[in-house]
């Protein structure tokens, strides 16, 4: 029971406002007090008026921004995202074979063997071709190794035989060597002075290869 001398506290006014807004019956003593007490009636009227005004303004504003068309589009977006999100991730096998196909696992064996055979064939072909068709190839490969052991001489011997048997190719290989040597001399020292200390600290393989050949 609220006496005449006591005013309604703030929270009671808010409670009345929400009850009224929700269509619920107001607390009878509070209604009676609001009717009798001018001060509380004014406070309540100010509160209701202010909140209702703001409410109307926010409704108008939101309706202007979120039109039915926009809400419909938003609804569609949400449903699309839900559909996309609830779809479990799939691993797509490359190149385009379905992983769910029962023969897929067995089918993968053949390409693997094929690839291995192709790689082996290529390697053998290059090696044989390099040995018999381009004698300089073997020598150049040999020159890349540091020949500071006894087997190096044995490796160089067959290539010397080939050089005797194929004089035309000798001049070609000599030209190549001369060209490469010129190139190496040109690049032997960096032209930038600031880089020369770094170059001095860097080990070089060029002299070793040249000295071993000659």
Partner 1 sequence: MSDQQSVRQPGPAAAPPVANSRERRTVPGPASEDTRLAVEIRELVAHGDMDDARDRFAGLVAAHQRRASRIAYQYLRDAAEADEAVQDAFVKAFGHIASYREAWPFEVWFTRILINGCLDRRKARARRDRWFAPADDTPHDETRVPFGGVAELDPEAQLLARERRARLSAAIDRLDGRQRTVFMLCHYGDCTPREVSAMTGLNESTVRVHLFRAARKLRALLGAKS
CB 199 within 8 A of CB 193: no
Q: What 3-state DSSP class applies to 26?
A: coil
Q: Report the alpha-carbon distance of residue 208 to residue 151 in Å, rounded.
A: 16
CB 30 within 8 A of CB 16: yes
Q: Which is nearer to partner 1, 38 or 62 (CB)?
A: 62
Q: Taking Cα atoms as reference points, which of 203, 61, 85 lies closest to residue 146? A: 203
Q: Which is nearer to partner 1, 41 or 158 (CB)?
A: 41
Structure tokens at 190: 């960096």
Tell the smallest beta-carbon distance from residue 22 to partner 1 (Å).
5
Q: Is 168 in the site for partner 1 (CB under 8 A)?
A: no
Q: Which is nearer to partner 1, 60 or 115 (CB)?
A: 60
Which residue among 35, 42, 45, 54 contacts partner 1 (CB under 8 A)?
54
Please report which residue ranges of 38-90 form alpha helices under DSSP H: 38-65, 68-86
Q: Is 22 in the site for partner 1 (CB under 8 A)?
A: yes
Which residues of the chain form contacts with partner 1 (CB under 8 A)? 9-15, 18, 21-24, 46-47, 50-51, 54-55, 57-59, 61-62, 64-67, 69-71, 73-75, 77-79, 81-83, 85-86
């Amino acid at each position: 029971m609220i006496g005449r001398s006591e005013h309604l506290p703030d929270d009671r006014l808010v409670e009345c406002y929400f009850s009224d807004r929700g269509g619920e019956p107001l607390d009878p003593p509070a209604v009676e007090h609001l009717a009798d007490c001018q001060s509380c009636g004014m406070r309540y009227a100010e509160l209701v008026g202010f909140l209702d005004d703001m409410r109307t303004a926010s409704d108008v504003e939101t309706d202007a921004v979120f039109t039915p068309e926009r809400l419909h589009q938003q609804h569609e977006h949400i449903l699309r995202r839900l559909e996309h999100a609830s779809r479990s991730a799939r691993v797509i096998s490359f190149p385009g074979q379905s992983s769910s196909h029962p023969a897929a696992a067995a089918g993968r064996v053949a390409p693997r063997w094929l690839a291995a055979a192709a790689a082996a064939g290529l390697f053998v072909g290059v090696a044989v071709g390099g040995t018999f068709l381009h004698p300089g190839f073997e020598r150049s490969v040999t020159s890349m190794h540091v020949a500071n052991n006894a087997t190096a001489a044995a490796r160089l011997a067959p290539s010397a035989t080939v050089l005797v048997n194929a004089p035309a190719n000798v001049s070609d290989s000599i030209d190549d060597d001369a060209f490469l040597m010129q190139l190496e001399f040109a690049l032997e020292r960096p032209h930038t002075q600031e880089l020369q200390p770094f170059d001095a600290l860097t080990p070089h393989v060029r002299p070793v290869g040249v000295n071993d050949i000659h």
